[in-house]
């Protein structure tokens, strides 16, 4: 699943680069796009091989640089926000610009929303490298809450600045198109530059995570021991080369398929659902058993409620994604 996620990030990177160098990276499956994407795969491989802590430091710098254009976008769209525009056809059911029923609108956004937040649980995978384990949970909640707030503002504020039918005509990356209309060319350049930094930073993060998952699995005996091999910098070298190699193969396959990127978005979102559902169901079972520790910080009743909500949400996502995509993604797991 992380390999599909990284390939999707590669596509977004090519979209941002195509703004500056059209038409060489259009669609993400041109020869220049495949060559540059392949080069970036191995550059990130090298950075992580230099050590997880060093790669994390680069990631922090990128994250800070990413927040600047996002905050500017929020401030600018808030400045142009008009409630009269925001409430126009609020439910998207006007005959001339109908988006379908409320239920169908919710279903159509579920996989994209899931894709946006996949990996938030990844803090558990690399928590063993943290200097203070107690800070991992706090950092996860803080990071999730911050991301959620930014996503909500980025998604809602443009609907108070431009009408829905205007937003629907804006090409990706849509934030750049919105600022181009509101403030001019400089806003478009700013957002495309910020997008490029953001995606490259996220790509580096997922390179770390993708190599740490089989490494951690090898440590507890569920993966072959070779995946636990480290280099002199304590980076999971074997696991890293395997994941980078698989991503390279996926990149080459993308060249022969015009719709591969959209397919990867769907597969990436749905492939994680079996793990989310079974984890939630297991917590339901565990919280009802006598094995649940009485001295745990989270009481059994709270654990049962949250796990039930997680199970119901996972089932809803499977329904929203479509059983055909779900069964297709299961074939990749098998």
pLDDT digits (tens, 9 = 90+) for 216-272: 888 888 888 898 898 888 888 899 899 888 888 877 777 776 565 566 656 666 677
DSSP-derived 3-state class of residue 255 = coil
What pLDDT does residue 334 have?
55
The residue written with tokens 């492939």 in the block is 271
Q: Where are the alpha helices (DSSP H) in 157-256?
A: 164-168, 174-182, 185-219, 237-254
Q: Which of 184, 118, 186, 112 is nearest to 154 (CA)?
A: 112
The pLDDT of 9-30, averaged and rounded, is 79
Which pair of structure tokens corresponds to residue 239? 């696991």
Which pair of structure tokens corresponds to residue 248? 């390279």
* Angle, CA 38 vertex, CA 33 and CA 39 arms, to 5°: 100
Long-range residue pairs from 174-181, CB within 8 A, at least 24 positions apart, any chain: 175/73, 176/19, 178/73, 178/77, 179/73, 179/76
pLDDT digits (tens, 9 = 90+) for 162-212: 988 888 888 777 888 999 999 999 998 988 888 888 888 888 888 888 888
Query: What residue spans define the domains of the chain?
Result: 2-258, 272-334
Contact (CB, 8 A) for 198 and 205: no
CA dist., res. 326 & res. 273, Å (int): 9
pLDDT digits (tens, 9 = 90+) for 67-109: 888 899 999 999 999 999 898 877 777 766 667 777 777 777 7
Which pair of structure tokens corresponds to residue 38? 């392949």
pLDDT digits (tens, 9 = 90+) for 203-216: 888 888 888 888 88
| Residue 307 burial class via C-beta count within 10 angstroms: exposed 0-12, middle 13-18, buried 19 and up | buried
Comparing 4-8, 72-76, 284-288, 293-297, which segment has the lowest mean pLDDT?
A: 4-8
């Amino acid at each position: 699943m992380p390999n599909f996620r990284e390939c999707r990030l590669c596509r977004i990177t090519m979209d941002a680069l195509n703004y500056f160098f059209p038409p060489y990276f259009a669609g993400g499956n041109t020869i220049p796009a495949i060559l540059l994407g392949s080069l970036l795969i191995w550059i990130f491989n090298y950075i992580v091989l230099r050590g997880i802590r060093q790669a994390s430091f680069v990631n922090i710098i990128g994250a800070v640089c990413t927040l600047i254009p996002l905050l500017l976008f929020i401030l600018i769209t808030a400045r142009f926000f008009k409630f009269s525009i925001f409430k126009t056809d609020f439910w998207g059911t006007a005959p001339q610009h109908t988006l379908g029923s409320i239920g169908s609108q919710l279903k159509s956004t579920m996989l994209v929303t899931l894709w946006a937040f996949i990996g938030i649980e990844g803090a558990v995978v690399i928590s063993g490298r943290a200097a203070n384990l107690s800070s991992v949970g706090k950092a996860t909640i803080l990071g999730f809450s911050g991301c959620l707030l930014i996503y909500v503002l980025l998604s809602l504020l443009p609907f108070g600045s431009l009408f829905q039918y205007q937003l629907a005509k804006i090409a990706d990356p849509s934030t750049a198109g919105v600022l181009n209309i509101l403030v001019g060319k400089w806003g478009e350049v700013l957002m495309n530059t910020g997008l490029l930094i953001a995606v490259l930073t996220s790509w580096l993060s997922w390179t770390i995570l993708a190599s740490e998952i089989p490494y951690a699995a090898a440590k507890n005996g569920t993966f072959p021991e070779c995946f636990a091999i480290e280099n002199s910098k304590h980076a999971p070298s074997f696991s890293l080369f395997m994941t980078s190699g698989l991503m390279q193969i996926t990149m080459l396959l993308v060249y022969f398929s015009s719709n591969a990127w959209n397919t990867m978005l769907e597969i990436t979102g749905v492939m994680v659902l079996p793990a989310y559902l079974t984890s939630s169901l297991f917590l339901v079972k565990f919280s009802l058993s006598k094995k649940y520790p009485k001295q745990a910080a989270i009481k059994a009743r709270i654990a049962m409620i949250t796990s039930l909500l997680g199970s119901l949400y996972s089932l809803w996502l499977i329904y929203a994604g479509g059983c055909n995509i779900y069964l297709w993604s299961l074939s990749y797991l098998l």
